Structure 1
Amino acid sequence: MPDLRAVALGAGAWVGALLVLLLPGRGALATVVGVVVGALVLAVRGTLAAAWLGPVAALAAVAGVATLQLTLVATSPLTTLAEESAVVDVRLELTSDVRVVAGRYGELQVVQATVSRVEGRGTAWALTAPVVVMAGADWPRLPLGTTLETTARLVPGDGEEAALVRPTGEPRVVAGPDVWWDAAAAVRRSVRAAVTGRDADARELVPALVVGDDGGLDPGLADDFRTTGLTHLLAVSGTNLTLVVGALLILGRWLGVRGRWLHVLAAVGIAGFVLTARAEPSVVRAAAMGTVALVGMGSNGRSRGTRGLGVAVLGLLLLWPRLAVTAGFALSVLATAGILLLAPVWRDALRRWTPRWVAEAVSVPLAAQVACTPVVAALSGQVSLVAVGANLLAAPAVAPATVLGLGGGLLGLVWAPLGVVVGAPAAWSAGWIITVARWGAAVPTAAIDWGTGPVALLVLTLACLVSVPVAPRLLGNPASTLACTGLLVVVMLVRPPTPGWPPAGWVLAACDVGQGDGLVLRAGERAAVVVDAGPDPALMDACLDRLEVEQVPLLLLTHFHADHVDGVAGVIEGREVGVVEGTGLLDPVAGVEVVETAAGRDPDVAAYGGTRRFGDVTLQAVWPPPGAGRTDPSESAPNNASVVVLAEVGGLLVLLTGDVEPSAQAALARDVAGLEVDVLKVPHHGSRHQDLDWLTSLRARVALVSVGEDNDYGHPAPDVLAALEAAGAEVWRTDLAGDVVVVVRRGEVGVVTRD
């Protein structure tokens, strides 16, 4: 039987962290004191067994540690200097690998670090404080473990770190990484080298499986992994450690290692895994959950595993209370709890009529999926229907891909050709996992939209709780199990209609693709011209699915910024796509490469001036003219090279403007003087940089703003919206309304939204 007191110990620790991190300071303190006092009173009266004071003690201990850490950060000299935007000299040690992210004014290098000394405003301090370094793309990229000094401007952080460090000078390296970091980096490089000659996706997936190094993975493939519930394979997880250390123990037994020395070997394997995957909180968390899983595989595993889970949660939160509010921690703990508490019962039910190996193969992913479903839905707004099946199909390939990938890396350090030989079957196994992910994502109803509102999540959570006692009864009966499986297959293979969607008479849709553009012009029955594809293939694909678009005679990309082209794979997947066109300025190159990879060809250049017809859509590109050089050099060249299209569809005149900025808009005002339209796609997500005289002169009846919720660009600008409304336009925003669809019914223009 599982030890529920141990589970309660971990739950108490988790609640203690959440109270401090989510409630105001005094409210958290009052709640913690109230819980502790109440528990002591009940224990004294005999109402509460003394043994159950453990979870209360765990709650108080973690709450105390979380409060102390928050106080240390809040009172750090770095925090004070950051509030003053001080320029200081700092000494810091890099504690993570560099990540390159897109910033407002170009790419940024982001890396976590710990500051040990800071000097500024005439004073110097020796301290230990966490920070995040945000440097420009041209700043030297240094390896994890490097200690350096630099001059930087401090900016306030978000509470987790004492400050954001924005370097203003070159780094001066004080000390290089320690030998173990160099060794870990060598293993990571060797793992990549062992699969270098393989398929592009496989050679990126193997390092992700072995050490969570997924930096080069294709975004479209990563979306397929999310849709099919295989995302846990791309991050450092307990599964990675279980496979690696389990293989090490098998090898040790084969070599004659026995007894206590097996424990030593396991400890060495865990330490090596943590160093290779990077000793960050998320990696240590994965190692802890993997260790719990290993314990759960031994004798009396269910009881020992649950005790280990409770202790692991308590230990992790005492070290890093902020893990309590991270999705990775929640998913890892819930999946492990599901496997330990639910899977054995469900396995035993299945064993009444199936072989043991089948019962275990089905019960483990099913239990983990049920335990994690509410959290996954809260993060993605979807419930995957193919997750269990995809994990079942992928499972046989995970172990060889992971173990042989690591083996190839280790042997490659000794002799590179041997590493390549061992790495080959790892890449083949990774290829099978990729096939499963792509097949699962292509299922008509691979996932259903659920929503992230409190009512939707509460209903889903209750449904998962109800399944705990109901599942053994269903699984123990072959007729009910096969009937449920058949029903699930039918639901997955036959896409259910969305009531009332697409709305009758629709002619134009602005898809809710986040911070980006995805416009759809109805060209006929199940056909549409698509202008831009947004930043997320899954969101763009889902919008086209809802609109029942199966044919795309023209995919037009106004320019190559990520928020307009990264979703191209979502347009192409499962549809007939004809012409793919873009602007003549192939900048940024990364965006062009995304399009070329997804489409399998170079995009043609949209022809300027000519009128073309695609089904019910008539198009004319009115910008940029050949050799256009009439824009302000201080503005974004790719934005001003956006293809601007004048379209006629359903009797409406529509102007789609890409991201053109004021100088290009002024040139357009001269080139198409006197133009008036029915529908305007507001340039650049409603940015404040507009030629308002021109926009308002268009006299649009409907203005569409394609923009992401809570974006940090300030889009859309209130004065732009006010000017358009004052000119008589109805303004519709995708961040507030979801998909926005323009309809024409009996000659009247209207707007229908999904939210």
Structure 2
Amino acid sequence: MTGLPGVARFARGGAELVRRRVGAAARREPPGARGGDEAAAAGDHRLVLPALAVWGGVLAIVQAGPVGALGAAVGAAVLIMVGVRLRRRAATAAGVLVVIICAAALLRVAATEASPARALARDEAGGRVVVVITSDARYFAAKGARPAFAVRYAQLRELRARGQTWRLDQTIALTGIGPVAEALRGPIVGTTLEARAGLRLPDPGERAVATARLRAPPVTIAPAGALDRRVEAVRVGLRASVAGHPEERRGLVPALVVGDVSGVPERLGEDFRTTALTHLTAVSGANLTLMLAFVLFVARWIGVRGWWLRVIGLGGVIGFVLLCRTEPSVLRAAAMGLVGLAGLGLTAGLRRGMRPLCAAVLGLLLVDPWLAAEIGFALSVFATGGIVWWAGGWADRLAGWLPRPLAEALAVPLAAQVATQPVVTAISGQVSIVGLLANALAGPLVGPATVAGFAAAALSQVHPWPAAAAGFVAAWCAQGIIAIGTAGAALPGAAMAWPADPLAVAVLGVGCLLWAAVLPAILARRLACLLLGIVLITIMLRGPVQPGWPPPGWRLVACDVGQGDGLAIRAGPAAAVVVDAGPEPEPIARCLDQLGITDVPLLILSHGHADHVGGLPGVLERRRMGTVLVSSASTGSAGAAALAGRAGATVVAAGAGQAYRVGEAEVEVLAPCAAPARARASPATGKDGESAAENDAGLLVRVRSGGVSVLLSGDLEPAGQAAALRCATDLRAAVLKVPHHGSSRQDERFLAATGARIAIASAGAGNDYGHPSPRTLGVLGALGMTVARTDTQGAAAVAVVDGRPRLFVQRRA
């Protein structure tokens, strides 16, 4: 919702015209009556309880079906009884609305459950489907040995299976991998396809009746209609207008304008998540509000007045929905954008906008109950509500000592971030520290980029030259946003880890409400804001300090680097032996900064896969480097070794029998004994999509530090583990870094031979591989090991307490 300060100023200008027309009526207000604005503000909260109650009831139904409906019915009964007994009309209305809207939702969900497509999906049956494409493709390019993957939504028109044919009209999700993914991403919206597919049940709360995994490229049986082709031509024209710019710019402009994220590089998307700028790359109410503000401003400037303004505004809304696709998320964004425009403009910062917001929530849930389970819906509602409820008042406080435009530029993103932070944390496991600053800096660029992008899309249908000129403006505004996101994500304190479990998110939500209550007093005082700014800047530059982390006397920390490995073993007051670097530079750099590590006398790279060496720059930058160990049997570490060498490190190829003393740490290389046979042959590919030969050619190292011994096993497969058992006489250690992120491919003899009491599985939250495997966790538990997993518990540390190693985790699972 960034960029709304200018919208607010425009809308307030339009509001003056309304006020002049109704001024006479206002002047006839009876003596002693409250002002209209004040009364509206005071009574504006009455729909909040009904909206929240209905949202909760519908969510229960789409997630749990009949059980959820029972819970919703009980809740409605309680609300009605409380309302009648206490004469609270809001509670009674909430109960009645829960009954009505939840009954409609239950009928929709029941119809989906009774569909023959759902029955076939339960049996994982196959068949032929005829569908009409309704969404753009979400495409994930091939990465390493993992094939390309694509998913699209469509309307299921016909289903043929088990000798029967059904005519249907329900939403279905289409997926494909490899060549099928390439074929699936090609057809434009509105195209009718036929394909062979295997049906599977969708995730709980998913609007699709089934997920169809295409077994072969689909066949086009009818082209898209004229309107869909025209809309696609406009979108193609938008992309063509920025085609000559670098990848990040030409990918971001369509995302800002129409929510087309297909061209946004993965790295830029991660930077935007860290800096709380992700909302810019999705269709949101802000897109519509910015476009409407510009269109209506131009219309007023050329003299359009009265009902013609409404006609132009309605035409703008229709054009926006068509251009961004008539998907549920776009309709949601249109509703939220109109609410945001009304709430910020016509009430000049008062809270009257909460009424249309709650009404919009109720209406959207009645029309589309599956919105209740969508994160995008929650983000839109909370962001709009935060802006409408808080932004005006906070801007007024800031305007006491700041220019009004700057006050609004700060108040709007601050209100949106405070309102949405619990939702963002629930899906990311972190709290963005740099988000406010990033949004405030990006705000002035979002409006011009979005408006110029819409202009480029429209002009592309006239001539490519003016479209390219508008695209040039949009691309350079996007470049500023890219620079802000990239620089912000690189700060040590860009984000702070926070548990994503329900209790922790609830605590954060209460904290956000308390923060919102005291913030006006801070914003009204220049000195208080200055001190707050100094604190935030200090945290961003040095990194947030989590109370009690790292634990005193730590000897080992397995950093939370996502789907990869990155560990630090204490070698001195500000020195550590670092083992692997994770897939990206920022997480490992942030972890080492938290630990105060400025000196890395020894860096061990177990093998050359990206999830172990991709974050190498995060270790090399701003730290003194010594020696880098790579496996003498590995063929995949050459690039990482060259990068370390250019940073001034000495690269050594290590094998079994080598030992090093590094400050407080003793390092012993246990494997590889010799290059495994598979490493000399053509590489095999494991089930997890990586080269098994490279995994088994990696280093197996034992490190001792301050009375704690840890066995670092890289990604050894069962064959590599068996080889280590043959050539290493002693594998015992107090701590085991579980091989290959805890995959199911383990040699139980190897795990037992370590004799470890603590095991650490380093994996990424929600990873596609299912790491760590429940089977492996069961084996480790049966061997008497206490297991820590970074995907649910964050970083894990081991310290010596009362003479024995003790496990600490950054957050509770």
Q: TM-score, normalised by structure 1?
A: 0.86
The correspondence for 2:202, drawn from 157, 160, 176, is: 157
Is 1:79 paired with 2:118? yes
Aligned to 1:110: 151
Contact 2:72/2:102 (CA < 8 Å) preserved in 1? no
Aligned to 2:810: 754
The correspondence for 1:236, drawn from 283, 293, 299, is: 283
Q: Deviations over 1:202-252 (max 9, x none)?
A: 332222212222334344433332333222112221111211222222333
Question: 1:595 & 1:241 partners in 2: Cα distance?
Answer: 49
Question: 2:164 & 2:321 partners in 1: Cα distance?
Answer: 38
Q: 1:246 to 1:114 in 2, by over 3 A?
A: same
Question: 2:654 & 2:195 partners in 1: Cα distance?
Answer: 50
**Per the alignment, in what secondary structure is the counterpart of residue 716 of structure 2?**
coil
The correspondence for 1:290, drawn from 337, 344, 358, is: 337
Q: CA deviation at 1:285?
A: 1.3
Q: Deviations over 1:596-616 (max 9, x none)?
A: 999999x99983539586954
Q: 1:138 to 1:426 in 2, by over 3 A?
A: same
Q: 1:196 to 1:577 in 2, by over 3 A?
A: farther
Stretches of structure 2 that go unaligned for 5 or more consecutive residues are 1-36
Q: 1:267 to 1:551 in 2, by over 3 A?
A: farther
Code of the aligned partner of 2:425? A
Contact 1:630/1:663 (CA < 8 Å) preserved in 2? no
Aligned to 1:704: 760
Q: 1:632 to 1:494 in 2, by over 3 A?
A: closer
- When structure 1 is superposed on structure 2, of 559-568 and 460-469 the one drifting more is 559-568
Aligned to 2:701: 647
The correspondence for 2:215, drawn from 162, 165, 168, is: 168
Question: 1:26 & 1:743 partners in 2: Cα distance?
Answer: 46
Contact 1:91/1:117 (CA < 8 Å) preserved in 2? yes
Q: Deviations over 1:260-281 (max 9, x none)?
A: 3332322232222223323222
**Per the alignment, in what secondary structure is the counterpart of residue 283 of structure 2?**
coil
Contact 2:430/2:498 (CA < 8 Å) preserved in 1? yes
Aligned to 1:92: 131
Q: 1:228 to 1:135 in 2, by over 3 A?
A: closer
Is 1:318 paired with 2:372? no
Stretches of structure 1 that go unaligned for 5 or more consecutive residues are none
Is 1:380 paired with 2:428? yes
Question: 1:428 & 1:614 partners in 2: Cα distance?
Answer: 52
Q: CA deviation at 1:74?
A: 0.9
Q: 1:25 to 1:502 in 2, by over 3 A?
A: same
Code of the aligned partner of 1:661? E
Aligned to 1:59: 98
The correspondence for 1:681, drawn from 713, 716, 737, is: 737
Code of the aligned partner of 2:76? V
Q: 1:90 to 1:646 in 2, by over 3 A?
A: closer
Q: CA deviation at 1:577?
A: 6.8
Question: 2:74 & 2:295 partners in 1: Cα distance?
Answer: 47
**Per the alignment, in what secondary structure is the counterpart of residue 18 of structure 1?**
helix
Give 1:426-441 correspondences, 5 Å limit: 426-441=474-489
Q: 1:744 to 1:625 in 2, by over 3 A?
A: farther
Aligned to 2:261: 214
Is 1:416 paired with 2:416? no
Q: How many residues align?
A: 748
Aligned to 2:58: 17
Q: CA deviation at 1:371?
A: 2.0
Code of the aligned partner of 2:406? V
Q: CA deviation at 1:90?
A: 1.4
Is 1:629 paired with 2:676? no
Code of the aligned partner of 1:639? A
Q: 1:688 to 1:396 in 2, by over 3 A?
A: closer
Give 1:525-564 correspondences, 5 Å limit: 525-534=573-582, 539-552=587-600, 558=606, 563-564=611-612
Code of the aligned partner of 2:156? V
Aligned to 2:746: 690
Question: 1:429 & 1:699 partners in 2: Cα distance?
Answer: 58
Q: 1:498 to 1:615 in 2, by over 3 A?
A: farther
Code of the aligned partner of 2:364? L
Q: 1:579 to 1:127 in 2, by over 3 A?
A: farther
Aligned to 1:277: 324
Contact 1:36/1:56 (CA < 8 Å) preserved in 2? yes
Question: 2:639 & 2:784 partners in 1: Cα distance?
Answer: 41
Q: CA deviation at 1:121?
A: 1.6
Aligned to 2:176: 135
- When structure 1 is superposed on structure 2, of 388-397 and 706-715 the one drifting more is 706-715
Is 1:28 paired with 2:73? no
Question: 1:474 & 1:701 partners in 2: Cα distance?
Answer: 50
Aligned to 1:740: 796
Code of the aligned partner of 2:177? G
Q: CA deviation at 1:508?
A: 3.4
Aligned to 2:232: 185
Q: Deviations over 1:630-665 (max 9, x none)?
A: 688474662331352243544677543332323344
Aligned to 2:495: 447
Q: CA deviation at 1:461?
A: 2.8
Code of the aligned partner of 2:717? E
Q: CA deviation at 1:624?
A: 7.6
Code of the aligned partner of 1:361? A
Code of the aligned partner of 1:434? I
Code of the aligned partner of 1:260? W
Q: CA deviation at 1:737?
A: 5.2
CA-based RMSD of the aligned residues comes to 4.1
Is 1:406 paired with 2:445? no
Q: CA deviation at 1:750?
A: 5.0
Aligned to 2:414: 366
**Per the alignment, in what secondary structure is the counterpart of residue 680 of structure 2?**
coil
**Per the alignment, in what secondary structure is the counterpart of residue 229 of structure 1?**
coil
Question: 1:200 & 1:554 partners in 2: Cα distance?
Answer: 37
Question: 1:580 & 1:92 partners in 2: Cα distance?
Answer: 55
Q: CA deviation at 1:63?
A: 0.8
Aligned to 1:607: 653
Q: CA deviation at 1:91?
A: 0.9
Aligned to 1:348: 396
**Per the alignment, in what secondary structure is the counterpart of residue 500 of structure 2?**
coil
- When structure 1 is superposed on structure 2, of 382-391 and 395-404 the one drifting more is 382-391
Q: Deviations over 1:699-720 (max 9, x none)?
A: 5565433245676755445665
Q: CA deviation at 1:549?
A: 2.8
Q: Deviations over 1:363-402 (max 9, x none)?
A: 2222222222332333333333333222222211111122
Contact 2:565/2:763 (CA < 8 Å) preserved in 1? yes
Question: 1:53 & 1:398 partners in 2: Cα distance?
Answer: 43
Q: 1:657 to 1:630 in 2, by over 3 A?
A: farther
- When structure 1 is superposed on structure 2, of 398-407 and 498-507 the one drifting more is 498-507
Contact 1:706/1:734 (CA < 8 Å) preserved in 2? yes
Q: 1:246 to 1:578 in 2, by over 3 A?
A: farther
Q: 1:537 to 1:165 in 2, by over 3 A?
A: farther
Q: CA deviation at 1:75?
A: 0.7
Question: 2:495 & 2:481 partners in 1: Cα distance?
Answer: 19
Q: Deviations over 1:1-34 (max 9, x none)?
A: 3333354554354244234235662563464366
Q: Deviations over 1:98-118 (max 9, x none)?
A: 223489974432222221111
Contact 1:350/1:475 (CA < 8 Å) preserved in 2? yes
Contact 2:543/2:594 (CA < 8 Å) preserved in 1? no
Q: CA deviation at 1:88?
A: 1.3
Q: CA deviation at 1:69?
A: 1.7
Give 1:450-599 correspondences, 5 Å limit: 450-493=498-541, 495=543, 497-534=545-582, 539-552=587-600, 558=606, 563-564=611-612, 571=619
Q: CA deviation at 1:674?
A: 2.9
Q: Deviations over 1:79-98 (max 9, x none)?
A: 11112222212111222222
